[in-house]
């Protein structure tokens, strides 16, 4: 529970875009929020940068257990001042990455954010994010509902 001190900053970040219920939502347990979006986050891990000060990458599997398609609009990471959903693509023969738009996950589908593909980039990491610890990721879907999941923090050289 070493991320408690960042709860205030976290609420500010997630309150962008009509998430007026964030204050109350923070007290709901993650399972209840997962049910409201239909999304289920599994295998989430944040890979710390090899060089301190660089952004971290977050990988996970995202399943839509509901019966409706869901569009994920944004991600936030507790302990990071900013986070973006990135995709990796080839540009002029080189692999590059950039911010992606909303990601639609069809009912029943699972998509993977994984090395070499989609990932969440976490910027301005708080020093309290250390390998072996845990942080939290919140995904906001179209309509403003959120799902929050625990994220294991791993060192740069560890298995991803
Ligand atoms: Cu990236």
Q: Give the pLDDT confidence score for residue 24 in this predicted structure.
A: 40
The pLDDT assigned to 1 comes to: 44
- Say if 11 falls within a structural domain: yes
Confidence of residue 35 (pLDDT cuts 50, 70, 90): low
- Per-residue pLDDT, 19: 38
How far is residue 72 from each of residues 38, 54, 132, 155, measured CA to CA in Å? 11, 25, 28, 27
Please indicate, yes or no, if residue 159 is contained in any of the structural domains. no
Domain span at residue 72 reads 4-154
Residue 70 has a CB neighbour count (10 Å cut-off) of 25
**Residue 160 confidence (pLDDT):** 65
Q: Which of 32-41, 43-52, 69-78 has the lowest mean pLDDT?
A: 32-41
CA of 23 to the centre of ligand 1 (A): 29
| CATH code assigned at 88 | 2.60.40.1890
Q: Ligand 1 center to residue 24 CA distance, Å? A: 31
Q: What's the gap in Å between 74 CA and the centre of ligand 1?
A: 14
Q: What's the predicted TM-score (pTM) here?
A: 0.77
């Amino acid at each position: 529970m070493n991320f408690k001190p960042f709860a205030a900053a976290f609420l500010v970040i997630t309150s962008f875009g009509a998430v007026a219920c964030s204050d109350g939502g923070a007290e709901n347990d993650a399972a209840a929020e997962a049910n409201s979006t239909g999304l289920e986050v599994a295998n989430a891990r944040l890979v710390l940068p090899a060089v301190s000060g660089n952004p971290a990458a977050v990988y996970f599997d995202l399943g839509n257990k509901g019966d409706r398609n869901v569009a994920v609009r944004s991600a936030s990471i507790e302990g990071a001042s900013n986070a973006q959903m990135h995709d990796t693509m080839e540009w002029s023969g080189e692999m590059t990455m950039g911010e992606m738009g909303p990601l639609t996950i069809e009912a029943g589908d699972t998509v993977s954010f994984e090395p070499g593909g989609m990932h969440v980039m976490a910027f301005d990491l708080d020093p309290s994010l250390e390998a072996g610890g845990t942080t939290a990721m919140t995904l906001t879907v179209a309509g403003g509902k959120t799902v929050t999941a625990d994220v294991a923090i791993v060192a740069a050289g560890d298995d991803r």
